[in-house]
Amino acid sequence: GQQLNQSPQSMFIQEGEDVSMNCTSSSIFNTWLWYKQDPGEGPVLLIALYKAGELTSNGRLTAQFGTTRKDSFLNISASIPSDVGIYFCAGRPFGNTGKLIFGQGTTLQVKP
Amino acid sequence: DTGVSQDPRHKITKRGQNVTFRCDPISEHNRLYWYRQTLGQGPEFLTYFQNEAQLEKSRLLSDRFSAERPKGSFSTLEIQRTEQGDSAMYLCASSLWQEANTIYFGEGSWLTVV
């Protein structure tokens, strides 16, 4: 089945540093999404990408939909302590489906 | 709070017992989704409804699992004869069908089978 490989698995950075994480797939996706999950909570949508090559920002977050439709990356600039959490990429396959396929997550820790 | 609401938030049950989780979506949302998440993994799709119709089911949804959305509003997910492998967080989410990429998740229901 379709799988997403998300990297890195975890990151420990200093406050103020920029962060980059990415997601690759063995097959193409219609849409890419990035979520953040805090402990004990459900995922919260950060950015949605709809077109190959699309670059979208949300505050200090920037994400891109890869031109091959098989990858996406998320950048966080000038990290702050509240950026701590688990970041998930998710892809929606083509076709009439409500399903999202999630990556394994990138755990981000920020040292003040 | 008008977000997706799930109940109970935590459930500990003995192996072999049945459990039921309830989800109340955002009020005008016609799509409702169930996902399962285990520690260290991303959420895995189980099933989704558009209004009261269950349109898609994952192979993860074994015959011990049943989901309903009888009036197109709240939904229940029942697990019969629970097994230790069912221990996970069960996430409910909702969206408008015309904005299906803007999916809002609830806080999840943690299930521990002992």
Q: Cβ separation of B103 and A97 shorter than 8 Å?
A: no
Q: Measuring CA to CA, which residue among A35, A36, A45, A27 is closest to residue A93?
A: A27
Split at pLDDT 50, 70, 90, the class of B97 is: confident
B108 contact A CB<8A: yes
Using CA atoms, how far residue A102 sits from A34, B48, B53, in Å, is: 9, 16, 24
Q: Cβ separation of B105 and A40 shorter than 8 Å?
A: no
B98 φ/ψ angles, rounded to the nearest 5 degrees: -80, -5
Which residues on neighbouring strands pair with residue B20, listed in sequence order? B78
Which residues on B lie below 8 Å from A33 (Cβ)? 101
Residue B83, min C-alpha distance to chain A (Å): 22
B4 contact A CB<8A: yes
Instruction: Output the pLDDT for position B80.
Output: 98
Instruction: Output the pLDDT for position B84.
Output: 96
Burial class (CB in 10 A: 0-12, 13-18, 19+), B66: middle
- How many other CB atoms sit within 10 Å of the CB of residue A109? 13
Query: Could you state, in chain order, the average pLDDT of each consecutive group of 10 residues for chain A (112 residues)?
Result: 85 96 93 94 93 95 95 97 96 87 96 91
A39 contact B CB<8A: no
CB A61, CB A92: distance < 8 Å? no
Q: Cβ separation of B91 and A42 shorter than 8 Å?
A: yes
Q: Cβ separation of B33 and A92 shorter than 8 Å?
A: no
Span B18-31, pLDDT tens digits = 999 999 999 999 99
CA B112, CA B82: separation in Å to the nearest integer?
A: 10
Burial class (CB in 10 A: 0-12, 13-18, 19+), A30: middle
Q: Cβ separation of A100 and B41 shorter than 8 Å?
A: no
CA A11, CA B80: separation in Å to the nearest integer?
A: 39
Instruction: Output the pLDDT for position B109.
Output: 97
Of A90, A92, A98, the CB nearest to B31: A98
Residue B81, min C-alpha distance to chain A (Å): 26
